Amino acid sequence: MDETPQKVLVVTPHPDDADFWCSGTVAKWIADGATVRYVLCTDGGKGTTDPEISSSDLSKIREQEQADAVEALGVQELVLLHHPDGLLEDNDEFRMELVRQIRQVQPDVVLCPEPYRKNLAWHRDHRITGQVALDAVFPCARDHLHFVELWRDEGLEPHKTGTILFWGTEEADTSIDISKSMDAKIKAISAHTSQMDGRNLQEIEAFIKERAQVSEGGSGDEYVEEFRKLTFRTT
């Protein structure tokens, strides 16, 4: 998509997921005037191989890393839902939380994980976040009688989101040029030091650039992020 949305909601299962998959796009849009809210669904408290650290201590570290990452990107707002890592469920509680975020932000675009991978392994929190985000966008945030208490008690009006971009998809149909925002993406990902397994900055940069490099016909300095795009009627 070539146009820059005015309002963007990023729904990420764990600290570092969105930064790894879509932070170049986020940084590009912010530079062009977009307002962005990150919603961090879990505390990331299971994501380690270190037997000496507790889940509660890791959660504090990882949530701070996410705060540092969004600051590097220029994201205007970070919301923490604090669900335990690995325990997200496709239920009304989680769905209502995301509907609340959508109705508060009134986004043009929602970015979230692809829920329907077929051939590649995918963390259960990623699958569930993508599915619940999709249902929250359509039909739940659209219709006032879904979670009527949000409309009746909190004054949150229904909202029709025009586009979801799913990251981590096997069926990408949308590429966004992030060549000018690659430095911001590297800074955001580098903020997640607990997840780097001892890699230095040069190794992290090389890995990120290799994954984002245009595969055919590129100059070597062209980078993209890829998504599956789903659109909805807004009128």
For residue 179 the two structure tokens come to 């060549």
> Is the residue at 1 inside a domain?
no
Q: Would the pLDDT of 95 be above 70?
A: yes
DSSP codes of every residue in 184-213: HHHHHHHT-GGGSTT--HHHHHHHHHHHHB
Q: What is the mean pLDDT of the chain?
A: 95
More confident residue, 22 or 219: 22
Q: What is the pLDDT of residue 216?
A: 53
> Is the residue at 74 inside a domain?
yes
DSSP codes of every residue in 77-138: EEEEEEEPTT---SSHHHHHHHHHHHHHH--SEEEEE-S--SSS---HHHHHHHHHHHHIII
> Is the residue at 41 inside a domain?
yes
Q: What is the pLDDT of residue 164?
A: 98
> Is the residue at 131 inside a domain?
yes
List phi, psi (to 5°) of 138. -145, 115
Query: What is the extent of the structural domain holding 190?
Result: 7-231
Q: What is the pLDDT of residue 108?
A: 98
> Is the residue at 2 inside a domain?
no
Q: Would the pLDDT of 196 be above 80?
A: yes
pLDDT, average across residues 117-126: 92
Total domains present in the chain: 1
> Is the residue at 97 inside a domain?
yes
Predicted TM-score (pTM) of the model is 0.95
> Is the residue at 98 inside a domain?
yes
Domain CATH number, residue 162: 3.40.50.10320
Q: Would the pLDDT of 220 be above 80?
A: no
Q: What is the pLDDT of residue 55?
A: 96
To the nearest whole percent, how much of the chain has pLDDT over 90?
88
> Is the residue at 208 inside a domain?
yes
Q: Would the pLDDT of 138 be above 90?
A: yes
